[in-house]
A and B are shown apart, each in its own frame.
Chain A
Amino acid sequence: EAQVTQNPRYLITVTGKKLTVTCSQNMNHEYMSWYRQDPGLGLRQIYYSMNVEVTDKGDVPEGYKVSRKEKRNFPLILESPSPNQTSLYFCASGYRADEQYFGPGTRLTVT
């Protein structure tokens, strides 16, 4: 089944404790992207990747890191999480910047 998977789905952590949210797709998509969704603000792009080893900043990259060592994986890293990074995170993939397939989301709470 074609899909985008994210792990974990839910995470509660404390300020400053490094964490990684994994994202994997099995559709051989070149393009992958991370978003955060906050009430009233819609979806805001954090980082995107056009292909392996090629990444670029979206609208809200501060406090996040990404890497694209393999085509199928695009992990999101929070080196020192803060409470303002409490949000719902979505990973997405697609062929170039066409139709995007979204993962199920990761709800992160930073206390």
Chain B
Amino acid sequence: GQQVMQIPQYQHVQEGEDFTTYCNSSTTLSNIQWYKQRPGGHPVFLIQLVKSGEVKKQKRLTFQFGEAKKNSSLHITATQTTDVGTYFCADSGTYKYIFGTGTRLKVLA
């Protein structure tokens, strides 16, 4: 079946450094959603991308959907301690969701 992998699995950065997580699918993605889960919390929706090559920005966060719709990335500029958490991508398809394995971000002050 479809597999959605994220790299890296873990990332430690100094506050102020940039961070990128990559989401790669074994099959073509329908739509891609990104979620953030703070430690001890539940996933919270960040954004959805639907078009090939789409780029969306939310303040310091930039989301990109690959041209072939088989990968996506989330880039955070100048990380802050509030960015700590695990970031998940998800193929939302029709109604069946396939989540990526997640990237856990730690930000050192």
Which A residues are within 8 Å of any B CB, using their own CB? 31, 33, 35, 40-45, 48, 50, 56, 58-59, 90, 92, 96-105
The listed residue (B45, B88, B92, B98) touching A59 by CB distance below 8 A is B98
Closest to B30 in A: A97
**B108: Cβ under 8 A from any A Cβ:** no
- Contact call A41/B101, Cβ cutoff below 8 A: yes
- Contact call B43/A43, Cβ cutoff below 8 A: yes
Besides A45-B96, A56-B96, 6 more A-B contacts (Cβ < 8 Å) are A33-B97, A90-B43, A97-B93, A98-B48, A100-B33, A100-B43
29-79 of chain B: CB within 8 A of chain A: 31, 33, 35, 42-45, 48
The listed residue (B92, B100, B102) touching A97 by CB distance below 8 A is B92
Closest to A103 in B: B42
The residues of A that contact B43 with a CB separation of less than 8 Å are: 43, 90, 92, 100, 102
Which B residues are within 8 Å of any A CB, using their own CB? 1, 6, 9, 31, 33, 35, 42-45, 48, 88, 90, 92-102
Q: Tell me the number of A-to-B contacts counted with CB atoms below 8 Å.
A: 61
> Shortest distance in angstroms between B46's beta carbon and chain A's nearest beta carbon?
9
The prevalent SS among residues of B at the interface is loop
The residues of A that contact B94 with a CB separation of less than 8 Å are: 97
The residues of B that contact A100 with a CB separation of less than 8 Å are: 33, 35, 43, 45, 97
C-alpha spacing A98/B95, complex, angstroms: 9
> Shortest distance in angstroms between A65's beta carbon and chain B's nearest beta carbon?
18
- Contact call B88/A43, Cβ cutoff below 8 A: yes
Task: Indicate whether A97 sits within 8 Å of B101 (C-beta atoms), given known contacts A42-B88, A102-B43.
Answer: no
List 9 A-B pairs, minimum CB-CB distance, nearest first. A43-B99, A102-B42, A99-B45, A42-B101, A42-B99, A97-B92, A97-B95, A102-B43, A42-B102
Task: Indicate whether A48 sits within 8 Å of B45 (C-beta atoms), given known contacts A40-B101, A43-B88.
Answer: no
The residues of A that contact B48 with a CB separation of less than 8 Å are: 98-99
Closest to A90 in B: B42
The residues of A that contact B6 with a CB separation of less than 8 Å are: 42
> Shortest distance in angstroms between A66's beta carbon and chain B's nearest beta carbon?
14
